[in-house]
Chain A
Amino acid sequence: MKWVLAFIILAMAGVSEAAIKVVTSLPDLADLARQVGGDKVSVDYIVRADQNPHFVEVKPSYMMKLKSADLFLTIGMELEMWAPQIVDGSRNASLTVVDLSQGVTKLEVPAKVDASQGDVHRFGNPHYWLDPRNVRPMMDEIVSALTKVSPADEKTFRANADAYLLRLGVKIQGWEAMMKPFAGQKIVTFHKSWSYFANWLGLDIAGEVEPKPGIAPSPTHSAELIALVRSAGIKAILVEPFYDLSAPEQIARATGAKVTVLPTSSGGLDQTRDYISLIDYDVATLASSLKQ
């Protein structure tokens, strides 16, 4: 009987201190949610840094993560094509799905939605989180989503977000200064993950290893890229950790450009444990590739 009582008291204590349960698609969004929510939130995410966020299997274990969540924060723009099935499978009627792309200025929005253009960027390029200036509109969405769940904490959320954005602002200046010497340089990327990143740093993406977003490299396309890399004197080929290196390495061998593996999400490496250290790592690694 004593145990039962103790259990009930513990359970009630648990309820009264219940944090807002937030699940995010990417680990980077989990970091931002933690920054805004502090100890008012408990945060989990679905896609690991070594997984391609476009292609995630619909696993019941992901549904379990969403089953008791209050909020599901997503990048939107159909990056998470798999999300509706996981949301439905979670059977969570009180789950709010938040699209963080609302306030972001979108790039590469096609005039015509058609599978002939590749199958993964039908609503524009969704990789906007790699431009740290987009963290502000994303955080605004997070603040308002958390506030809807817990209106009493609005001031805390806003203050946390502002403090983080201040810290991030200083970092952004540092990153921009570091990359300034390389402005206008041409690079090649595997997938169109780096459009926002390049746009921010004034880099010029001359081509992609993928012929179209989501379509695997082909020998003819790689041959064209080799010619391009040679003629433009391109030094770096950016590849996300989850793509096969054989096509980029073949191009690198033929041209002397450097294959630069850059994570697009935090958590994959010791040096990239959160969003700021991710951009730190990506900027520093790219700078050293371009320096050569």
Chain B
Amino acid sequence: MPRSMLVLCCFCVVRILLPTTVVAQTSVNPDISVIPRFLIHSDDGQKLNEGKREFSRPDFSFEELELALQAYLNPFAKADVVLTLPGPDLENSKLGIEEVYATVLRGLPLDMNLRIGKYRAEFGKLNMTHPHAWPFVTAPLMQKRFLGESLNDLGISASVLLPTEDVYTKLTVDLLRGTAIGGATGMVDTTGAKPYYANTARLSSFFTLSDYSDLEIGLSGYTGIHDPYHRDRFWYGNLDFKYKIRPSAYTSLVIQGEYLLNTRTVHLEDEKSISSSGFYLYADYQFFKTYSIGARVDWSESPYSADDKASGFALFAGYYPVEETLGLRAQYARTTTELPGFTQSVNSIDLQILFSLGPHKAHPF
């Protein structure tokens, strides 16, 4: 066959295939969303050891880029992949996997849902929310101190709805690899052994208070081995609530809080048991649909000491001119760190800019 003929044939085949492929792809492609966040930050804590309290020059930096893909695998299951490019070094930053998991939604006994992969575990309420969806810029002290960035681990999760009449009550139990424990406590396992498995569970109920207001209450637990040398175990108990009233499409008020209680055995000179706790409480008021203002109070001890404390508050405001495609958040926070014989307060100001490409999902409660 002459070459020109062959080219022509190929061309025809492509012409015939092309339209159908295009049509098929649009329906099979996963939903993709890309959400970059930028931050302008200044605080007055950087020269405190020189005895000076002055605000640093505002630093404009890249905070994080989140790339989320979601699609149904089949009629029974869907899959989520969330990739993250952490800041601030945009050039040398590596794309990492924040979450990758499959969820079996139906077809299992007891109408169970099963999740397998790496994911933000269902512990408390805020842990499941990605930072771009927070009303504030920085995580509550309690979350930072007891969970690290977030409780995000490799695991298997099973959840069932309990037969509580018309009230939605869900029980979720997770078996986690235990790799996230070090991230929370700073303990690095150098034994070379595989980590000990960890467990979380959450029981939550959703109450409809009126046509316009709802309340969710959750009780969670988290346990694992935090010291592999002595096989020391920790236990977290956590109580969370979220109240939301939305009298119109333009106005809403959210009040949310969590209280975490930690007990753990540690080996210092000898074996000892430590108890500590932390909480946050915030309110966020949305008005004219595009604006929001809020405040948060924070108080937290640390996982290894009730004497290592931090407390503070944050005032924040948000502006979302076109749904969540574009967001601006401003925050003023004052954080006081307290150790025996040492107290230091730092004021910080943040301006966060984020935008969001891709389909916008309806907001979960």
Interface residues of B in 308-365 (CB under 8 A from A): 321-323, 325, 360-365
Is B113's CB within 8 Å of the partner chain A? yes
Query: Are A216 and B161 within 8 A (Cβ)?
Result: no
Query: Are B113 and A91 within 8 A (Cβ)?
Result: yes
Is A93's CB within 8 Å of the partner chain B? yes
Interface residues of B in 51-78 (CB under 8 A from A): 78
What residue of chain A has the Cβ atom nearest to residue B208's Cβ?
A61
Interface residues of A in 189-231 (CB under 8 A from B): 214-216
Contacts of B365 in A (CB 8 A): 57-60
Query: Are B78 and A88 within 8 A (Cβ)?
Result: yes
User: Known contacts A67-B161, A119-B323: does B361 contact A61 (CB below 8 Å)?
Assistant: no
Query: Are A92 and B106 within 8 A (Cβ)?
Result: yes
Interface residues of B in 139-155 (CB under 8 A from A): none
Binds A, one of B87-95, B246-254, B273-281: B246-254
Contacts of A50 in B (CB 8 A): 248
Contacts of A52 in B (CB 8 A): 249
In the complex, A8→B240 CA distance in Å? 39
Interface residues of B in 166-190 (CB under 8 A from A): 166-168, 170
What residue of chain B has the Cβ atom nearest to residue A218's Cβ?
B321
Is A159's CB within 8 Å of the partner chain B? no
Is B289's CB within 8 Å of the partner chain A? yes
Query: Which secondary structure dominates chain B's binding surface?
Result: loop
What residue of chain B has the Cβ atom nearest to residue A244's Cβ?
B250
Query: Are A55 and B322 within 8 A (Cβ)?
Result: no
Is A269's CB within 8 Å of the partner chain B? no
Query: Are B289 and A216 within 8 A (Cβ)?
Result: yes
Least CB distance, B308 to chain A, in whole angstroms = 38
Is A239's CB within 8 Å of the partner chain B? no
Contacts of A242 in B (CB 8 A): 248-249
What residue of chain A has the Cβ atom nearest to residue B321's Cβ?
A216
Contacts of B249 in A (CB 8 A): 51-52, 55, 242-243
User: Known contacts A119-B323, A216-B289: does B364 contact A57 (CB below 8 Å)?
Assistant: yes
The total of chain A residues at the interface (CB under 8 A) is 29
Query: Are A91 and B161 within 8 A (Cβ)?
Result: yes
In the complex, A82→B168 CA distance in Å? 18
Is B211's CB within 8 Å of the partner chain A? yes
What residue of chain A has the Cβ atom nearest to residue B204's Cβ?
A60
Kindly identify which residue among B111, B161, B206 contacts A59, using a CB–CB cutoff of 8 Å: B206
Is B107's CB within 8 Å of the partner chain A? yes
Query: Are A91 and B214 within 8 A (Cβ)?
Result: no
Query: Are A58 and B161 within 8 A (Cβ)?
Result: no
Least CB distance, A186 to chain B, in whole angstroms = 27
Kindly identify which residue among B106, B290, B363 contacts A58, using a CB–CB cutoff of 8 Å: B363
Query: Are A216 and B290 within 8 A (Cβ)?
Result: yes
Is A81's CB within 8 Å of the partner chain B? yes
What residue of chain B has the Cβ atom nearest to residue A63's Cβ?
B168
Interface residues of A in 18-61 (CB under 8 A from B): 48, 50-52, 55-61
Is B105's CB within 8 Å of the partner chain A? yes
In the complex, A258→B325 CA distance in Å? 33
Interface residues of B in 268-291 (CB under 8 A from A): 288-290
Least CB distance, B359 to chain A, in whole angstroms = 8
Is A104's CB within 8 Å of the partner chain B? no
Least CB distance, B163 to chain A, in whole angstroms = 10
User: Known contacts A58-B362, A88-B78, A93-B111: does B166 contact A64 (CB below 8 Å)?
Assistant: yes
Is A11's CB within 8 Å of the partner chain B? no
Least CB distance, B255 to chain A, in whole angstroms = 16
Query: Are B289 and A244 within 8 A (Cβ)?
Result: yes
Is A102's CB within 8 Å of the partner chain B? no
Contacts of B360 in A (CB 8 A): 119
Contacts of B322 in A (CB 8 A): 215-216
Query: Are B105 and A91 within 8 A (Cβ)?
Result: yes
In the complex, A243→B323 CA distance in Å? 15
Least CB distance, A211 to chain B, in whole angstroms = 10
Query: Are A61 and B289 within 8 A (Cβ)?
Result: no
In the complex, A115→B208 CA distance in Å? 34
Q: Please give me the 8 A-B residue pairs with the lowest Cβ-Cβ distance, nearest first.
A: A82-B362, A60-B168, A60-B206, A91-B111, A93-B106, A58-B364, A61-B208, A59-B365
**What are 16 A-B pairs with beta-carbon distances under 8 A?**
A55-B249, A55-B362, A57-B362, A59-B365, A60-B206, A61-B166, A64-B167, A82-B362, A91-B105, A91-B106, A92-B111, A93-B107, A93-B111, A119-B323, A242-B248, A242-B249
State the B residues within 8 Å of A (CB).
Answer: 78, 105-107, 111, 113, 161, 166-168, 170, 206, 208, 211, 214, 216, 246, 248-250, 288-290, 321-323, 325, 360-365
